[in-house]
Chains A and B, each alone.
Chain A
Amino acid sequence: MIWNEAIECADRSEIEKIQLEKLKKVVAHAYENQMPYRKKMEAAGVKPEDIQTLADITKLPFVTKDDLAENYPTGMWAVDKHDIVRVHASSGTTGKPKIAGYTRNDLEMWGECVARCLAMAGADQDSVVQVAYGYGLFTGGLGAHIGAEKMGCMVIPMSSGNTQKQLMFMQDMKTNILCCTPSYALTLAEAAEHAGLKPENLHLTGGVFGAEPWTEGMRWEIEKRLGLKAHDIYGLSEIMGPGVSASCDENAGMHIQDDYFYVEVLDPDTLEPVPDGEKGELVITTIGKEGMPMIRYRTRDICYITHEPCACGRTTTRMSRVFGRTDDMLIIRGVNVFPSQVETVIARFENKLTMNYKLYVGREDNKDTFELAVELADGLAIDDIKYVEALKADIDRELRSILGIGCKIRLLNPGTLPRSEGKAKRVEDTRNL
């Protein structure tokens, strides 16, 4: 089902007309009501009336997470506190959280965006949606919730954790749509298998997974083990929360809600736009938000976009999965390493390794140390040192070909690494540089 065909399948020219109109409006709103941004515009010598085409957006200054830190807690809000009905927060760089305020209209918009995403995963009014994202300041839980409620689904607000209870509700309430982080989906799959449950004992048909980067390998694993079709959902609390974009059945990138978000992809060093299909930093302008509008917000997420229409019928801009964050990027012995690249390699050893892994980066004798600890797959038969040595050599070779550097590999028995109930902690960097 397409939730809002009039918008999601509109001609590009129609979408661009809406975008320009709304862009002008949000720039005027920020100029009038968001003082830190007005100061940036004044410093750049740009006025709201300078925005006459979508391309004019490049005249506007950027907003970064540092602006949120400097204007903590509510300096970036653009309406009277009287009109704010909800806050969410995510961790910031300085130890103080980034706090977003939502008006009633903002929540309405959020529900609309998430409803479109849930529809992409096959949800409708008859669906039973189990929300296993954390509820609270984190946007995952209440974000998925508001969309499912808007659609008219039966929502089970489980929040994250309490895995046995999740499985009980999943069976007894016949949950068909699951919303959680991909790592928690794997935790649930593992627990289901331990309880002797097969995918056909569950009623799951679709999953909406996000809030952390994941790979095709993880997608296959989740789909196989839970017997559902896995969809990506993307968002960040500064911008709104989950629902900025999501993937349809074509699994051909995530459809962006173009009438609420104008996206650019820029070279993170030069800040110049890169062509469609080329990777760069995603920069988002919220063109429908009142409480905390964000103009040219630098997400730090690396992805690429396309404006080609999708086989599903939607014409909205599509973004690739997020390959990593510019902040997640580890620089090891001078080489850029994203944890997601390591995940891609692990996924190639489907029958021998699990997706439970952790990277340890440290420093010894002025040299970076880099270690991958990964759990072996259940059911392996290991009687031979040579078998393990050969497996380690294979993993090392694949890692070198993708990362360009080698890494010490430590294989572990299943269940050894700590399990996550939310975002998995994949990297431990003990270098004090």
Chain B
Amino acid sequence: MFIKQVSVFLENTKGRLAEITRLLADNNVDLKAMSIAETADFGILRVIVEDPENAVAILKGKGFIASITDVVAVELNDRPGGFADVLEILAKEGINVNYVYSTIHSKKDTAMIVLKVEEPGKVIDILGANGVKLYKATEL
């Protein structure tokens, strides 16, 4: 149920982002989801791809600091409050969410949200018990 996300350290230059996305595209790596966390002078690119180990190897080969992080991906009905429901469930259990982002393309009338939490295993159990639909890696 874990989704393996690829995280890449970026010196905060526009050129570097273009370089990475081009590098992945040239290697036929399709980005299923992507987000960038930025500060004034550096950033972290987070992507979800079909074969994360391969993507990390490609990136490391070009000298990038790249690694894999376990995240959880949930499906939301595309209606107001869907996301708030999930956060409330987690808050009630005292789970801290480090960051969230949503997908680039999703199934009709649903949205996919990626969550990074401290204990993804526990979170999967909690959300599953509350009837939240979780994506498997193969469904992305």
Chain A residues with a Cβ under 8 A of chain B: 376, 378, 380-385, 388-389, 410-416
Contacts and interface: CB of A to CB of B under 8 A. Distances in A.
Interface string B9-46: 11100000000000000000000000001010110101
8 contacts: A380-B65, A381-B65, A382-B67, A388-B9, A410-B41, A410-B42, A413-B9, A415-B63
Interface of B: 5, 7, 9-11, 37, 39, 41-42, 44, 46, 60, 63-65, 67-69, 98, 116
A16 to B, nearest CB: 55
A382 B63 contact: no
Contacts of B63: 413-416
Contacts of B46: 383
Contact of B116 (A376, A383, A388): A383
Closest 9 CB pairs of A and B: A381-B67, A415-B63, A383-B7, A383-B69, A382-B9, A414-B63, A413-B64, A380-B65, A385-B37
Secondary structure at chain A's binding surface: helix, strand, loop or mixed?
A: loop
A131 to B, nearest CB: 30
Contacts of A412: 11
Nearest to B63: A415
Contacts of B11: 410-413, 416
A381 B70 CA distance: 12
A411 B42 contact: yes
If over half of B's interface residues share one DSSP class (helix, strand or loop), that class is named, otherwise mixed; here it is strand
Contacts of A382: 7, 9, 44, 65, 67
Contacts of A383: 5, 7, 44, 46, 67, 69, 116
A395 B30 CA distance: 37
A376 B44 contact: no
Contacts of A389: 39
Nearest to A377: B65
Contacts of B116: 383
A383 B66 CA distance: 9
A382 B9 CA distance: 6
Contacts of A411: 9, 11, 42
A378 B60 CA distance: 8
A378 B67 CA distance: 11
Contacts of B98: 384
A416 B68 CA distance: 22
A413 B44 contact: no
A111 to B, nearest CB: 42
Nearest to A386: B98
Contacts of A384: 44, 98
Contacts of B41: 410
Contact of A414 (B5, B44, B65, B67): B65
A382 to B, nearest CB: 5
B42 A388 contact: yes
A117 B21 CA distance: 52
B94 to A, nearest CB: 20
Contacts of B69: 381, 383
B26 to A, nearest CB: 18
B11 to A, nearest CB: 5
Contacts of B67: 380-383
A376 B37 contact: no
Contact of B7 (A378, A381, A410): A381
A388 B41 CA distance: 11
Contacts of A414: 63, 65
A384 B42 CA distance: 11
Nearest to B9: A382
A385 B39 contact: yes
Contacts of A378: 60, 65
A362 to B, nearest CB: 16
Nearest to A388: B42
Contacts of B9: 376, 380, 382, 388, 411, 413
Nearest to B60: A378
Contacts of B60: 378
Nearest to B69: A383
A410 B63 CA distance: 17
A407 to B, nearest CB: 13
Contacts of A385: 37, 39, 44
A397 to B, nearest CB: 18
Nearest to B61: A194
Contacts of B68: 381
A388 B10 CA distance: 11
Given A383-B67, A384-B98, A416-B63, 16 more contacts: A376-B9, A376-B65, A378-B65, A380-B65, A381-B65, A381-B67, A381-B68, A381-B69, A382-B44, A385-B37, A385-B39, A385-B44, A388-B9, A388-B39, A389-B39, A410-B41
